[in-house]
Structure 1
Amino acid sequence: MRHIHQRRVPRESDLRRYWKVMTLSERFEQLVAALLGAIIAVIILLALWELVRLVVETLLLQHQSVLAHSVFQRLFGAILTLLIAMEFQHSIIKVIERREHIIQTKIVILIALLALARKFIVLDTGATEPTMVFALAFGVLVLGGVYWLIEQRDAARRGEEAETRVTSAEHPETDDASSRKPS
């Protein structure tokens, strides 16, 4: 995975480069993705502002302990909400930059797992029915299983692609040995 500081320089936008050859529906998808990206960026900024306000108000002004269960729930609920939004934003940026044509299923599953983890952290155990806890736990297991299956499929595909590259590197000739004339 390339990091931001490792991007090719100078970088012409892939969107600008391919805009002329895109179909109308691909252009529409790009515009929707860009609009979603902008909306989520605003939501992330507002959530970050709320998190900073919550930390200042709770920990500095009211001198509440971060170890108090209700304070912990509020703070980490806000942090995880922000992380979920940022991960979603990252997946949309991939679509906009044309590194992914569509949002990958694995990313959606990971975002759902983050949302369930957040739910477990902010869960009020005193007011929550045991069946709800069971349902949430079952959801985590199912999503984890689906993620594992997708990862296994992707690993098998990567193995096949690597094997194909090795085979073609070892045998660059296009015709087979049986069709060659002896010298």
Structure 2
Amino acid sequence: MGLGEELAEERRRFSLLSLYDKFEHIVVLILTALIAAFIVFALWNLALGVVQSFASSTTTPTDYPVFQSIFGMMFTVIIALEFKRSLLISTERLRSVVQVRTVILIGLLAVVRKLIILDVGDAATRELFALAAAIVALGIAYWLVCDRGPFVLADSREEKGGRRLHKRDKS
């Protein structure tokens, strides 16, 4: 399918949306553009930080504060990428913007980023327990909303009588 055909198909799909859905779609596209600009600048900043770290004869990449700084910047880019991807998926599927699994995953990434850049020696015990509790709670919530086991809730195959369990396809 050519670019012109894809644009025509997108225009056709967009015309079928309700007024609020059109508004939501436009907001998501604007947010996606802003996040993409943020990712480009964050990646540029990360690249400069890594180059300056290697160029500097006084710091080494294995130095713990340098490690924390670089990985903190990397996780920031990863979190932004995941957020942008979730917005793009919502525009492609024409579903609601909020996807619970993605929000939980982004929250989990943010907590892990905080844990990585945290100086454990200076951290209060309460803060460490709070981070651990957040990781466990988000992990359990993610596990609960993900498809798991041999049975999943029916999606497009559900019958009119309500939702029922289907065995996963082996293909």
Structure-2 residue corresponding to 1:12 = 6
User: Which residue among 26, 32, 47 is the counterpart of 1:31?
Assistant: 26
Correspondences of 1:4-83 after superposition (within 5 Å): 9-10=1-2, 12-13=6-7, 15-62=10-57, 64-83=59-78
Structure showing greater radius of gyration is 1
Q: In 1, Cα distance between the equivalents of 2:128 and 2:37?
A: 32
Question: Which range moves more in the overlay, 37-46 or 17-26?
Answer: 17-26
Shift of 1:65: 1.8
User: Which residue among 144, 153, 157 is the counterpart of 1:157?
Assistant: 153
2:135 counterpart of 1:127 = no
**Count of matched residue positions in the alignment of Structure 1 and Structure 2:** 158
Structure 1: tracts of 5 or more residues without a match: 1-8, 167-183
Do the aligned residues in 2 keep the contact of 1:80 with 1:118 (CA within 8 Å)?
Answer: yes
Do the aligned residues in 2 keep the contact of 1:51 with 1:78 (CA within 8 Å)?
Answer: yes
What amino acid maps onto 2:26 in structure 1?
L
Residues 159, 64 of structure 1: CA spacing in aligned structure 2 closer, same or farther, 3 A cutoff? same
Shift of 1:21: 1.5
Correspondences of 1:71-150 after superposition (within 5 Å): 71-98=66-93, 100-150=95-145
Offset from partner CA, 1:94-141 (integer Å, 9 cap, x none): 122236433311011111111111111100122211100100100000
Residues 140, 164 of structure 1: CA spacing in aligned structure 2 closer, same or farther, 3 A cutoff? closer
Q: In 1, Cα distance between the equivalents of 2:64 and 2:72?
A: 12
Structure 1 ranges of 4+ moved more than 6 A:
none
What TM-score comes out, normalization by structure 1 length? Answer: 0.76
Q: In 1, Cα distance between the equivalents of 2:33 and 2:156?
A: 38
What amino acid maps onto 1:66 in structure 2?
P
Shift of 1:165: 9.9
Q: Pairwise CA RMSD of aligned residues?
A: 2.6
| Greater relative contact order, per chain length (Cα 8 Å cut-off, separation 6+) | 1
What TM-score comes out, normalization by structure 2 length? Answer: 0.81
Residues 78, 28 of structure 1: CA spacing in aligned structure 2 closer, same or farther, 3 A cutoff? same
Do the aligned residues in 2 keep the contact of 1:37 with 1:92 (CA within 8 Å)?
Answer: yes
